[in-house]
Amino acid sequence: MQVENKENCSGCGACYNICPKNAITMKIDDYGFYKPVIDSQKCVNCGLCEKICPLDKFKSNNFEQPKVFAFMNTDEVRLKSSSGGAFSAFADYILKNNGVIYGVIWDENITAVHFRATNSEDVEKMHGSKYVQSNTNDTFKQAKTDLDNGKFVLYSGTPCQIGGLKAFLQKDYDNLLTVDLICHGAQSLFYLDNYKRHFLKNKKDEKILSMNFRSKATPWGSGYFTTTTVTDKGIYNSEKDLYTAFMDFSSNKSCASCQFARLPRTADITIGDFWGVDDYDKTMNDGKGLSLILLNSEKGTKYFELIKDNYSSKEVPLEFVVRYNSNIIKPTTPPPEREEFFKDIKKGKSLQKCKSKYYKEPLSIAIYRLLPQFAKDFIKYKILKRPKC
């Protein structure tokens, strides 16, 4: 058995989890992404991996036009979250009903891995954005065992990972709630390793304990992100951090042709940031984080109805949110310099050095940054919002 179309493979792990002979391992390729490798000595050519691969075969039966809600959790939860704490609200409900949560955490090496959680302390490790491809490991098999045993399961991940899980399960489960993200693309492990190495360069004998690429050290919606890195010797806030600036350059090649970045969506629920909220209703933005929740299925709608009264939410138009969150309906187009960027990263060039070569801020944006706030507000609310003829 051969792995075909490896460039189009998202590395979801469905084939790894389904193989009855453990003949498939997920190994890191030349760009720093997990891809399946088949051991020909173990493979019996059963064809299961090809059968369940979601690539070009997965079809969603979810709503073509899902309802969308702006959502706020408590201030305490939002402070720990990247946006409005939507994931935590669903996870808390499942936990209170003796369920199991699958999501992404940092392991001891600051590598993103999917993890099975049965308590709030472990779920809290899933808070915050981890902008790098995660390894699903054996969690599809673990989730199936939980489901077959009658456990309530919430499984969260990128849309391709949810597609892989559903393909692996080969049937729907009433006790499974899936949550995917408005995904901009999965970043390379080499890219993260480069960032960590240069971060520690002048920090003698320090070890990174955690990273949050969307820290609330900077108010939500302020126009740039702050990365908060915790080491065994201190806490560091990096405003306007370059890691998020180069995410388009460092995404998996398969992300550019992602078949899951579309409507109908893959999961029961899609969560993300309510970008553009100031152009919709500025009073909804308190700077502490505001989520979007897309209710993609009857099941997703049912669970939202069960939790919504405990939080603040408001229905908003799908057409508006898609305008500011285009990854709901289409993938991100990588820049033409992607290949050259990866060569520089693999050579060990720092992002600071890459900035002058690749990151060219448009002149209009540079001028806008220099304007006083009243002038920025005039452009934003009077000129940019002017209806087009």
Domain with CATH 3.30.70.20 in the chain: 6-52
In angstroms, the CA 332 to CA 348 distance is: 25
- Which has more pLDDT, 375 or 299? 299
Direct distance between the N- and C-terminal alpha carbons of the chain, in angstroms, rounded to an integer? 57
* Tens digits of residue pLDDT in 7-28: 899 999 999 999 999 999 999 9
- Which has more pLDDT, 173 or 380? 173
* Tens digits of residue pLDDT in 301-355: 999 999 999 999 999 999 999 999 999 999 999 999 999 999 999 999 999 999 8
SS3 273: strand
Q: Is the pLDDT of residue 286 over 60?
A: yes
Measured CA to CA in angstroms, residue 59 lies from 3, 52, 160, 164, 259 at distances of 22, 12, 12, 11, 10
- CATH architecture of the domain formed by 6-52: 2-Layer Sandwich (3.30)
pLDDT for 49: 95
Residues 6 or more apart from 100 whose CB is under 8 A from it? 94, 116, 117, 118, 143, 146, 151, 152, 153, 154
**Sequential DSSP letters for 293-327:** EEE-SHHHHHHHHHHGGGSEEEEE-HHHHHHH-GG
* Tens digits of residue pLDDT in 40-70: 999 999 999 999 999 888 899 999 999 999 9
Enter the pTM of the model: 0.92
Q: What is the DSSP letter of 60?
A: -
Are 5 and 50 within 8 A, CB to CB?
Answer: no
Q: Which residues pair with 100 in a beta bridge?
A: 153
Q: What is the mean pLDDT of residues 95-122?
A: 97
* Tens digits of residue pLDDT in 131-173: 999 999 999 999 999 999 999 999 999 999 999 999 999 999 9
Do the bridges between strand 100-106 and strand 112-117 make them parallel or antiparallel, or are there none, so unpaired?
antiparallel
C-alpha triplet 226, 260, 56: angle, nearest 5°: 140
State whether the Cα torsion 310-217-128-120 is positive or negative: negative
pLDDT for 381: 56
C-alpha triplet 157, 285, 224: angle, nearest 5°: 65
Q: What is the mean pLDDT of residues 199-203?
A: 93
Average per-residue pLDDT for the chain: 93
Residues 6 or more apart from 27 whose CB is under 8 A from it? 34, 35, 36, 37
pLDDT for 70: 98
* Tens digits of residue pLDDT in 237-280: 998 888 998 999 999 999 999 999 999 999 999 999 999 999 99
- Which has more pLDDT, 5 or 149? 149
